[in-house]
Amino acid sequence: QKEVEQNSGPLSVPEGAIASLNCTYSDRGSQSFFWYRQYSGKSPELIMFIYSNGDKEDGRFTAQLNKASQYVSLLIRDSQPSDSATYLCAVDPSEYGNKLVFGAGTILRVKS
């Protein structure tokens, strides 16, 4: 089992809709969770982080964490074509000396 799993997509949503991106992780002791966005040909950039169970909102983005079920999700409200990118989930597993472990990423396509 991979440490961090994401559906590779592509996930296609119409402009203005809510995009829901999901990530599951294997280490129950993980403490820190991050979402990165990577545009084609560019480096990943951090867009959200979450440490506690529940929701964390930042503008159109909401990160949701459920440690009991070992999943973290990213919701993008009012999706725009400019949101089209690959979204990477990263987790800090407690057993790996605080080394961030990345999922393979989900491709999101927002169609106008």
Examine residue 99 and tell whether it contacts other proteins (CB under 8 A). Answer: yes
The window from 13-21, 43-51, 52-60, 66-74 that contacts other proteins (CB under 8 A) reads: 43-51
Spatial CA neighbour of 49 closest among 32, 66, 37: 32
Measured CA to CA in angstroms, residue 50 lies from 26, 37, 44, 84 at distances of 17, 15, 17, 22
Q: Does 46 bind other proteins (CB under 8 A)?
A: yes
Separation between Cα atoms, residue 68 and residue 25, nearest integer Å = 11
**Interaction of residue 103 with other proteins, rule CB under 8 A:** yes
Name the site residues for other proteins (rule: CB under 8 A). 31-32, 34, 43-46, 49, 88, 90, 92, 96-105
